[in-house]
Amino acid sequence: MINFEKFTLENGLKVIVHKDKSTPIVAFNLLYDVGARDENENQTGFAHLFEHLMFGGSLNIPNFDEPLQKVGGTNNAFTSNDITNYYITLPKDNLETAFWLDSDRMLSLAFTDKSLEVQRNVVIEEFKQNYLNQPYGDVWLLLRPLAYQTHPYKWATIGKEVSHIENATMDDVKTFFHKHYRPNNAILTVAGNVELNEIKQLTRKWFGDIPKGDVPQRKLPKEPQQTEEKRLEVERDVPANAIYKAYKMCSKTHPDYFITDLLSDILSLGKSSRLYISLVKKQKLFSEISAYISGSHDEGLLTISGKLQDGITFDSAEKAILKEIENIKLELVKENELSKVKNKIESTTQFSETSVLNKAMNLSFAELLGDANDVNLEVDKYQQITTEDIQRVANAILNKTNCSTLIYAKKK
């Protein structure tokens, strides 16, 4: 149970305060409701590039990191297709420094040419390091546009291609900032040994005079219902063949979301899970196999992926996956299979709540999707799921016409 209180400033900034007396550390989490899905299709990778620029100095403070490190703090950020999230942890006594730093960059960035020039290069190196110079690194650059036809999930957060990042201009940067980085498009969560009044006073002091912005309503193209199977085969210089099967699933706010999550857990969480036992241990077709959901806000993907054992054909490997899918659609999963993955949810939640930073992030994410208090209801929602629910969702989504398959073959 995470207790919290919340309030909203006049400029629309939502603030959540969680008190945890047990720690000398405070987590300061600032979420902006903007991600790669808000990008223009000809200018992808921009939300993420922008995240890098947020560390390049702001209106009154030439360097973001230095003053924070000077007070014993540390910080980072990440961008997804849905959100951009900035977080700081620091000793409680020095909390005000976080307010000072993050409010100044919300007020305005410094927008220096040097920062843009350098961060373009840094992001291009990140692109190479994680997507181009790694075995299987480009899988999602291929799978996204295969699975999505119109929705902006069809490009990855890093961007569609390196040229989009190379071509970013200062004007683009400024427009993006004024459009999305406004108080009424953000959620601030502070977690630690703090008092509500103290946070109210600090928030008003540092964020109170930042003007509200004209944040555009999000109108994303809706992905049409998939009606036929999609397939793509590529050859790459990798040591093992791999297969990826991505099935469309519901959005994060849909009641079936938690059911789909458990469905993927039953398939592959841990070494007693179905796919591992059948495909890796018994049939020895795969050297590794997994099933996972994308966790995206809009309609997402449940993906089953595996690397084939040497000498196994794509055909027999894929048939074996499909056989497991048929089984879970035809027969109810066993009660103990279900209770097992529910118990894992319970303990994972308990362990994650030992960190104030995790708690602050989870409160922010839940608030964005509707209500911060949902973090406290999740375990219960999972508990209520039945074996019939699992079967129903399996039948609804694990179908050929709802699937995009990537055959990733090693060069002969």
Partner 1 sequence: MILLDRKKAPEFKQVDNIQFLDAIKTSLDNGIEVNYINGGSQDIIKIDFIFNAGNLYQNKPLVASSTNQLIKEGTKNYSAFEISEGIDKYGAFFETENAYDTATLTLYTLTKHLNNVLPYVKEVLLFPEFSEKEFEIYKNNAIERFKINLEKVSFIARKEFMRAIFGNENPYGSDVTLNDYENLSVNDIKAFYTENYNLGNCRILISGKVKTSTINVLNDFFGQEKTIKKESIKIDFPKNTNNHDSVYIEKENALQSAIRIGRLFPNKLHEDYFGLEILNTVLGGYFGSRLMNNIREDKGYTYGIGSGILSLQHAGYFFISTEVGSDVTKKALIEIYKEIEIIRTQEIPVEELELVKNYLLGQLLTSCDGPFNMGSLFDSVHEYGLDYNFYNKYIQTIKEITPKTLLALGVKYFNKTNLTEIVVGKL
Task: Please report, as residue ranges, which positions from 378 to 407 form the binding site for partner 1 (by CB under 8 A).
Answer: none
CB 301 within 8 A of CB 147: yes
| Strands 230-236 and 403-410, bridge-based pairing | parallel
Q: Which stretch binds partner 1 (CB under 8 A): 33-41, 101-109, 149-157, 368-376?
A: 101-109
Q: Smaller CB distance to partner 1: residue 10 or 346?
A: 346
Please report, in angstroms and rounded to a whole number, the separation of the first and last CA atoms in the chain.
55
| Among the listed residues 5, 10, 41, 65, the single contact to partner 1 using CB under 8 A | 65
Q: How far apart are CA 370 and CA 364, in angstroms?
A: 10
3-state secondary structure 156-188: CCCCCCHHHHHCCCHHHHHHHHHHHCCHHHEEE
- To the nearest whole angstrom, how small is the minimum distance from the Cβ of residue 167 to partner 1? 16
Subset of residues 15 to 54 that bind partner 1, contact rule: CB under 8 A: 22-25
Subset of residues 335 to 364 that bind partner 1, contact rule: CB under 8 A: 336, 339-340, 342-348, 350-351, 353-355
Position 193 contacts partner 1 (CB under 8 A): no
Q: Smaller CB distance to partner 1: residue 230 or 344?
A: 344
Number of residues that bind partner 1 (CB under 8 A): 81
Q: Smaller CB distance to partner 1: residue 226 or 349?
A: 349
- Strands of the sheet containing 286-293, edge to edge, are 230-236, 403-410, 242-248, 301-308, 286-293
- To the nearest whole angstrom, how small is the minimum distance from the Cβ of residue 126 to partner 1? 4
Neighbours of 145 (CB within 10 A): 16
CB 262 within 8 A of CB 341: yes
| Among the listed residues 7, 11, 19, 61, the single contact to partner 1 using CB under 8 A | 61
Position 225 contacts partner 1 (CB under 8 A): no
- To the nearest whole angstrom, how small is the minimum distance from the Cβ of residue 84 to partner 1? 18
| Among the listed residues 10, 41, 125, 233, the single contact to partner 1 using CB under 8 A | 125
- To the nearest whole angstrom, how small is the minimum distance from the Cβ of residue 161 to partner 1? 14
Q: Smaller CB distance to partner 1: residue 223 or 353?
A: 353
Q: Which stretch binds partner 1 (CB under 8 A): 8-16, 68-76, 390-398, 399-407?
A: 68-76
Q: Smaller CB distance to partner 1: residue 99 or 247?
A: 99
Q: Smaller CB distance to partner 1: residue 42 or 197?
A: 197
Q: Give CA separation, 130 vs 133, 138, 230, 386, in Å.
A: 7, 8, 26, 39
Radius of gyration of the chain (CA): 23
Q: Smaller CB distance to partner 1: residue 59 or 332?
A: 59
- To the nearest whole angstrom, how small is the minimum distance from the Cβ of residue 67 to partner 1? 6
Position 141 contacts partner 1 (CB under 8 A): no
Q: Smaller CB distance to partner 1: residue 184 or 273?
A: 273
Q: Smaller CB distance to partner 1: residue 284 or 323?
A: 284
CB 263 within 8 A of CB 390: yes
Subset of residues 227 to 266 that bind partner 1, contact rule: CB under 8 A: 237-240
Q: Smaller CB distance to partner 1: residue 273 or 391?
A: 273
| Among the listed residues 3, 5, 8, 72, the single contact to partner 1 using CB under 8 A | 72
* Binding mask of the shown chain, residues 276 to 315, with x at each position contacting partner 1 by CB under 8 A: -x--xx--x--xx------------------x-xx-----
